[in-house]
Structure formats: C-alpha cells, structure tokens
Chains A and B, each alone.
Chain A
C-alpha cells in the first residue's frame, strides 16, 4: 500500500463520519457519540497499556475527575463549559502527575495493583464529598456552546466529539512516530534497555501516564455535557475494566484499536441489552456483566493480540521510501587516540555475603579495543553493569572522560557517551530496523512531546532517519530498513544492536558477549565490523567468552577471576600466562 492510498482511505473514513448524522437515526447518532467518548478514554489506555506496557485499571477514575470537575464548574457554580474543560484537564493531569510520580517506579503487577487502589479511592470520593451531590450525582449540566450555538441535540455535539477523536488520532499517530513516541514504544522492552539509550524510563512513563489521563479528561468533559448529568456509577472499578477491555480488544498496541474497541464493546453491550432479556427475564442487568467478563476472559485466553493488529496483518505492506540524505546530526568531539577514557579504581560490588567484584581497577584508553575475560562467575557481567550504571558500586570509583560516573543513573551514563549492547539481545521485535536504530539517536536529538505530536520536527526527524540509515549501512544491514527486527536471525540482531549503539555517536562502545550464539561465519563478520569501527577511532570494551574471537581482535585484555583482577596485558602475554591457564583449565598439580 502506498502513502497515497492510505490518505484516500483516511479521507473516505472522515467523509463517512461527516455524512453519518445526515443518514442515521437519532438513536444511532447517540450511540456513535458514546462510542467517540469512550474511544478517547480507550485511546489513552491503548497508549498507556498497549504502547507503554502499564496496565491501568484506573482510567475510569480520571474520566470521572474530569466529568465531576466540569459538572462542578458549570452546574454548581454556573460558569461556562469551556472553563469546565480547563479545570477538568488541569485537575485530571495534576492528579495523574502526582499519582504517577509516586507510583511509576513500582514494577509490573505492583503498579497495576496501585491503579486498582487509587481508582477505587477516587471513585469512593465522588459519592462521599458533600459538594458533589453524594450518590445522587449532579444534574442540570448545561450543554457546550460554541459562540451562540448551544450543542443541545446529539446531532450537534456529534461533530464536536468526532472532531476531537479524529484530531486525537492524528496527534497520537504523529507522537508515536516521533522521538518521544519511539521512547514510549521502547518502554515494554524493560527499563534497562530504555535507559541504555539515554532515555529516562521514569520521565517517559510519567509523560505517557499524563497523556492517558489527559485523553481521559477530554472523554469525561464530553461525557458530562452529553448526558448533562453525572453520578458515581459510570466511574467505578467496573468501568475501569471496561475501558481496559476496549483498549485490549481493539488491539492494545494500536491507537486506532482504541476506537475500534470502543465501538465493538459499546455495540456489543447494546445488543446484549437487547437480547439478554429474551433469554433470562429480570436478571438481564447482571447477566450483562457476566457475559461481558466471560467474553473478555475468553478474548484474553485466545486472541490477546486484538482486532486491529489482526486485520492489519491482511493488508499489503506499506511501501515506505528510504530516508533521503539530510543535514547530519551534530557529532560528539572524540578524544584524541591514546588518552585515558575510562578509569575504574578499586570498584567493589557485594551481593549479601558474595563479593562479585572485588577491588578491580583498570583503564580504557581511547581508540583501543579492550577485552574483559574470565571464567564463568568471574564477575564480568557485574563489572559491566557497574560501568553502565545498571548496578551501583559499593565502593571504589569509576570515571569516564575525566568525570566520575559512579553514582550516575543509567541514562545519564548513556548520554555521557557510553553505548552498550546486551548479552541477551534487547530489540523491539515489532519495530522496524530503522526505528530500532532511531531509538539510538534519542540522546542526540531534541524534539519535545508537543513538537513531535504536531509534526514540527521534520528537519530533525529527517536528519535522524538519515543517520539511522547510515548506521544500518555501516554495519551491513542497509538493504532492508523496513523489515521488522524480530524477523532477523540472531547474528544480525546482534549487529543491529551495534548499529543502534552507534547511532548514539558514542565515545565508548561496550559490548556484552557479542559473539555468543553466533556461527563461525557470523563471528568473522562481526570481528571485521569491530575492526572497522576501531579504524574509525571508536573505543570498544568487550566482555567475551570466545577466546579465539577475543585473541584475534583486541589490543589488550583484562582477566577477572572470582571477582578479582588476575592480570592484564596484550593477548599473546595473556595466552601464555600460567595464572590465566590455571583459572581456565584448572591447576596442573
């Protein structure tokens, strides 16, 4: 499919949306209104849960905060709904920012549990605060008016609702295709990956969380002025799971999935309400939630992927054009060859009683390839984690380019110019090669959230894309930039990680067992690539098991054994060192 065809489809869809109220009966329009409103909340959740990997049960509470804010401003105090919108957005986003600030450091299911907790707490507040009508809710909310026109009929507010939905869709698509959006899409790969790219995982999560709440607040504002009445019921925990259902059924990773999911769930609910009374008289209200929960469970068991990604699989691939040459991104100033780049002095790391790294010191000089070797359990990986900030040293100092990084956070270290790869490849398998490498350019680019969402970033984006393509070509993967990373064989995935690291324009490249699991041919190619990088004056630190690979490649070797440094020197000297032979082969009595 070409870009042109996609634009045609979008134009046709928008034309259908515009024509709908002139063709459909009032009941269908009301239904469409609610679909649009739920879709906004569900899109927020699709971003948070599907893209960011944060499962939230509390979206309904955010919608509720906004609905109650605008109800309070308009029905209780008599101000304009537009002022209600301001309060709704500001209050919802502030609450989200505070909650996110407190809870987003939590891991996995603990974070989701906290969303259940505050979701419930907020829902309880609606029914228990005196000024908010208690359990009776607030009625008499005025309609939204645009100039002299009051949007009283559902046909009128329809246009406002769907204009907002379409705008939100565009903005979200732009956002996900921009610098910050790519960082959000990387969140599911885990904190270590994200931070190794110079991205603050916490800030990115917080941004995603607040955006989700913002979309929830738009939904709540429209909800209050469409129904002209709010009560605690629609914002309770059950609705929270319904929003989650919409987002996941539609396809949690997909923004459009939010709209499709909202439509399916709302229509299904509607038809269930029609048909259930025929099956079970009197108990239909309760059977409804049973039927829904059962369907959702069945869906989670059988088809987690969701509808939109499933359907998108049948569409022909989008034909994307290769990035054109553009202004190069600014480069870091590389230190002259031979200067001291990384200095590890007396680094120590304990895990309880075990000393994994015991007072290890070594230097890395710019322009060299240094190999860090040692038998299993020697402390190589721990040393590696200390260098990259994944772990903190208990004592000792690590200085990079003359500055101590001992206490720095991972993403600060990454931004300082240390790029890494992973022993167990950490790529985003559903992102293209180009997008994966673009992640590497994060620390070299500046586009913010808003600029990305409004596409004000085109010049920088073009430079970054060109840079990413250049790095792909440099490592020999330039022929298929739009292939999905998950489709590559392991050898190429490792090489792709190196391209991503190179895109950050690092001073020091640290590779964690890059040859592990590679076939002989792949190893030879990898060694060739690393030599060419050294020829470009890049400094490389390499942790590796494969002796042949290390000996033929590196300039110097540091040997670790049982957490301590055994010796260091040139490959030939290390090879003949009796202590090294003993450590690897066991003592010859």
Chain B
C-alpha cells in the first residue's frame, strides 16, 4: 500500500465515519434520554435515502404510507389509554399530536410534489417525512414498557428492527437506489483528490453536532433533556415529562439519521435493508463513547469508518467481519474502564 492509496483510503474512511458519527450521536442521544438502544436507527437513515430517491423520481415515497399507518396506530393507542384513565379532555390534543400533525406533514409533501420542487426543497421534504417515524414508534412500541430493563428494551428494539425491514420492503420495494450527488465540485488537498461530497459530509457532520451542542447547552428544552438523561425521577419531580423528553430526543435523533441517510445516498447504493449495518457500525462507535459521551461516540464512529475503509482494501468480503469483531475488544475495554453499578436482571 502506497502513501497515496493510504491517503485516499483515509479520506474515504473519514467521510464514511462522519456519516456513522451522525447516527452514533443520535443513538447516544436516544439511549441517554430513554434508555432504549435504538437499533432501527440505521433503518431510519436508509428510509430517508429511499424517500429522497422516490421524490427525485417524482413518485410518492413509500414513507407516506408508513407514516399514515403508524400515526393511526399511535393515535388509537393514545386515545385508548387516555380513555382508560378517564382523561378524555386530553384526547383532542393527542389526536392533533399523533394523527393530525403527521398527516399535515404528509399533506405538505403531497401538495409540494405537484410543483416539481427543486433539490433543496426535496431534501427538506424527505427529512420532514422521516421525522415523525421514530416518535410514533416510540409511542407504539416503547412507551408501554418505558420502565422495563435496558435488556428488555434492547430485545424489543432488535425485534422492531426486523419489523421495519419487512415494512421497508413492503413500502419501498427491493430496488436499491443511489441519489444524484449534492455537488459535483472537487478539490485537491496536498495532491489528493477530495470530492465535494466528502467535504459536504464532513461539514454537515460538524454543523449538526455543533447545533446539537448549542441546543443542549443554551436552550431550556436541551437542559431538560440532559436532566432526564441523568435522572428520570429527578427530572419528573422538576416538572419535566420523560415521555415528552423522549419524543424530542427521537425527533432530534431522526433528524441526525435523516441527514446521514441523505449524505450517504449518493455515495453508496441504499437498499431497504441497508440500515442495519449502517446502524450497527454507528453503534460500535457509540459504544466507544460508552453510550454516554457525544465526542466519544463521534470519535469512535470516525475510527470505525477508517478501519472499515482500510479493511475493505485488504479484503472487501471480510470488512464487516473485521468491524464487528472489533466490537468485542472495545466492549471489554469499556467494561474495564467504567465501573458501572451492577444492574440486576428482572425476575
């Protein structure tokens, strides 16, 4: 391997790593606020790419159907649970939040589609469409067991991923997509060709993690989220509703996953089931940060990207084996580095 190839591989790895970093940060965000290890997160990224591709092709994306189905389910569950506890006055608000709002989003997409919107608008539409999915899934799947152990939530999360993959095929079909590049510019850095897409990926990763940082440190909602992450009961006593904090975390996380999906779609062909590997690799990064630290997660994700890039040069078939085998030493290192208190398995 020459220095040139190494440089190209490194740049490639950093670009992939940046995409993973966005997903990894979202994973950590959701885990700290809700204790859910949200495995389907990569699916959200893949669905965004598929949505964008459908919009590019002037078709109504399958996401529309998915959102409508999920919104109806979530709304029905919320109304039933409100009716059971006798809080009928809250029903209109619930219907608005869980049904009308997602339907408005769908309506906006449907209307805008008729006017052949330009690329930037399509990006926004794809993100808008993808954002309701995780909060709705949260309401349907995780809210009823919000107090269960992390282990049970993880099991549910893995099952949810498989459900989503099936739904993905149903709504998006088996074809892979590759969207048009967002930019065709290219620059030379120290004699190495760097594509505009790579620059864009890096910039987006930096901007969005920066925005998240500002959000956490300088807004009240951000502080409420951090409080929930530290201590749910304490936050609840301070008037913060963990359920709402969870919804916000899912919305923000979806945005990160959506952006990463949009960024990776022009580089890799995305299928309905591409999200699993994307999510898990981001996840390896998140574990480097102990599922708690954002910079740690980002660094880990970059590491995964770079290792994957070099591994695929050595053996493209075994690169995934290499990346996942890496998780074991990382986990060991984490478990020795952090003396976490023993979590008892529930009966």
Contact = CB atoms under 8 A, between A and B. Distances in A.
- Chain A CB within 10 A, most for which of B149, B162, B284, B340: B162
A293 B345 CA distance: 23
Contacts of B317: 128
A221 interface: no
A429 B283 CA distance: 36
B152 interface: yes
B287 interface: yes
Interface stretch (A297-305, A338-346, A578-586): A297-305
Interface string B303-347: 000000000000001101100110110011011000010111101
Interface string B133-161: 00000000100110001111011101110
Contact of B162 (A124, A125, A128, A289): A289
Given A106-B332, A190-B344, A300 B152 contact: yes
Most chain-A Cβ atoms within 10 A of its Cβ — which of B155, B331, B340? B155
Interface stretch (B165-173, B206-214, B228-236): B165-173
A297 B160 contact: yes
B151 A108 contact: yes
A479 B144 CA distance: 42
A118 B322 CA distance: 10
A300 B170 contact: no
A289 B273 CA distance: 13
B121 interface: no
B328 A102 contact: yes
B170 A290 contact: yes
Contacts of B332: 102-103, 105-106
The SS class assigned to the A binding surface is: helix
A241 B151 CA distance: 14
Interface string A245-267: 10010000000000000000000
A107 B344 CA distance: 10
A117 B145 contact: no
B154 A118 contact: no
Contacts of A297: 141, 156, 159-160, 163
Interface residues of A, number: 50
A121 interface: yes
B281 to A, nearest CB: 10
B112 to A, nearest CB: 28
B151 A106 contact: no
Contacts, number: 134
A55 interface: yes
Nearest to B35: A109
Nearest to A118: B328
A238 B331 contact: no
A109 B271 CA distance: 29
Interface stretch (A29-37, A280-288, A487-495, A541-549): A280-288
B345 A188 contact: yes
B24 interface: no
B11 interface: no
Contacts of A399: none
A535 B167 CA distance: 71
A195 to B, nearest CB: 11
20 contacts: A102-B328, A103-B328, A103-B332, A105-B332, A108-B150, A109-B37, A109-B150, A109-B154, A110-B331, A118-B324, A118-B325, A118-B328, A121-B324, A125-B318, A125-B321, A188-B347, A190-B344, A287-B170, A289-B165, A290-B163
Interface of B: 37, 141, 144-145, 149-152, 154-156, 158-160, 162-163, 165-167, 169-170, 276, 280, 283-284, 287, 317-318, 320-321, 324-325, 327-328, 331-332, 334-335, 340, 342-345, 347
Given A109-B150, A109-B154, A116-B280, 15 more contacts: A55-B155, A110-B331, A113-B287, A117-B280, A118-B328, A121-B320, A244-B155, A283-B169, A290-B167, A293-B162, A297-B159, A297-B160, A297-B163, A300-B156, A301-B156
For the complex of A and B, 3 pairs with smallest distance between CB atoms: A293-B163, A290-B166, A53-B345
